[in-house]
């Protein structure tokens, strides 16, 4: 394998370590090499803390002079929570910087690379770009479109049902599938649901440490688990402080037509969303969420919201946990979509991944 690919692969693996903690920042890894030996490496842990390059430079120390630096994302050239990484690279007198992809933020894209080149550093960009992009799909989409990456998670029986007619649905899927959902939650910036689901199920919508896979727990300290923002579509102002998710760690956002004057806990925000007809405008809502730096959303809701999001073409990935059970024709359906006359008008999806999770099958589909 070409040395550049070998060391960039290592940087990508380091970047993966931040996928549970870095949001709203991207996942970034860095490796510093001198005489074909790794002398420094690091990854970005969370917003407000040093970037991957800084950790790697600290590890390399004086040995960084004349080295080659591999970074999964273009180094920053602006002042944020931390000074620009470009300045640190120049000050360390590195000879070459290999970058997987440019920063997608149009305000800074390319400026870091130009800064390094003007300082006399050799720059190569684009090595393993697709792999780097796959690590930051939510950040990329938000930077490019203003919208978060949206995953819709559903669980159903073999005949496409989500609950019995009386609402009984615990549990459709296996313990392994429910652990997998915890993994999805842990990687998500936010979890979106509806007031109907909150009223019916009274969920916590949190990442539960004891249900995470042991491999993930080995990488993280329980104290560092980042709870996703819980977002509830509550246009009729039905959510109260008595609902379980209001009093969980992390923030809860209530998406509403108007703000009420009740006294809410400090972690609860009310956000006004314009109407589209008689309902909240889902596209406008997602833009508001994107402006609040939410990179990716996991939707855990009922058939009506699921159908509305599919109709609005807002779903980037559909994740279905298929249980080997049959519920019968009177049970509740997977999602509510308008009646179609012609097969050609059906929603068309493509299979991205199919695998066994415990006794269930997990399907991942894309539009």
Tell me how far apart the alpha carbons of residues 249 and 229 are, in angstroms, rounded to a whole number: 9
CB 3 within 8 A of CB 15: no
CB 42 within 8 A of CB 103: no
Query: If DSSP states are collapsed to H, E and C, what string results for 217-233?
Result: HHHCCHHHCCCCEEEEE
Tell me how far apart the alpha carbons of residues 113 and 119 are, in angstroms, rounded to a whole number: 10
Prior bond of 207 cis (ω within 30°): no
CA 52 to chain centre: 19
Tell me how far apart the alpha carbons of residues 44 and 30 are, in angstroms, rounded to a whole number: 9
* Beta bridge mates, 360: 357
Which residues are known catalytic residues?
A: 53
* Beta bridge mates, 37: 34
């Amino acid at each position: 394998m070409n040395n550049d690919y070998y060391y960039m692969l290592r940087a990508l693996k380091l970047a993966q370590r931040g996928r549970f903690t870095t949001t709203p920042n991207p996942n970034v890894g860095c490796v510093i090499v001198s005489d074909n030996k790794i002398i420094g490496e690091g990854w970005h842990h969370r917003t407000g803390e040093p970037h991957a390059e800084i950790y790697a430079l600290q590890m390399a120390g004086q040995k960084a002079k004349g080295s080659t630096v591999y970074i999964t994302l273009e180094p920053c050239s602006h002042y944020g929570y931390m000074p620009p990484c470009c300045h640190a690279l120049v000050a360390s007198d590195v000879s070459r910087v290999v970058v997987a992809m440019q920063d997608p933020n149009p305000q800074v894209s390319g400026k870091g690379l130009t800064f390094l080149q003007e300082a006399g550093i050799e720059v190569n960009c684009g090595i393993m770009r697709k792999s780097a992009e796959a690590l930051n799909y939510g950040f990329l989409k938000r930077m490019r479109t203003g919208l978060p990456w949206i995953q819709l998670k559903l669980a159903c029986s073999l005949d496409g049902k989500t609950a019995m007619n009386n609402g009984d649905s615990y549990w459709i899927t296996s313990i392994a599938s429910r652990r997998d959902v915890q993994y999805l939650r842990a990687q998500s910036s936010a979890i979106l649901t509806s007031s109907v689901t909150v009223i019916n199920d009274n969920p916590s919508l949190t990442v539960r440490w004891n249900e995470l896979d042991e491999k993930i727990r080995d990488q993280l300290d329980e104290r560092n688990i980042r709870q996703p923002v819980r977002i509830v579509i509550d246009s009729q102002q039905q959510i109260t402080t008595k609902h379980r998710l209001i009093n969980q760690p992390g923030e809860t956002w209530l998406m509403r037509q108007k703000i009420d004057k009740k006294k809410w806990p400090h972690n609860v925000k009310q956000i006004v969303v314009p109407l589209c007809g008689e309902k909240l405008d889902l596209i406008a809502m997602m833009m508001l969420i994107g402006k609040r730096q939410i990179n990716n959303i996991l939707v855990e809701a009922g058939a009506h919201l699921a159908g509305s999001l599919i109709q609005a073409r807002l779903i980037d990935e559909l994740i279905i946990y298929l249980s080997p059970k049959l519920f019968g024709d009177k049970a509740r359906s997977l999602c509510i979509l308008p009646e179609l006359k012609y097969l050609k008008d059906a929603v068309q999806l493509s299979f991205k991944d199919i695998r066994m999770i415990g006794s269930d099958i997990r399907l991942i589909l894309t539009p």
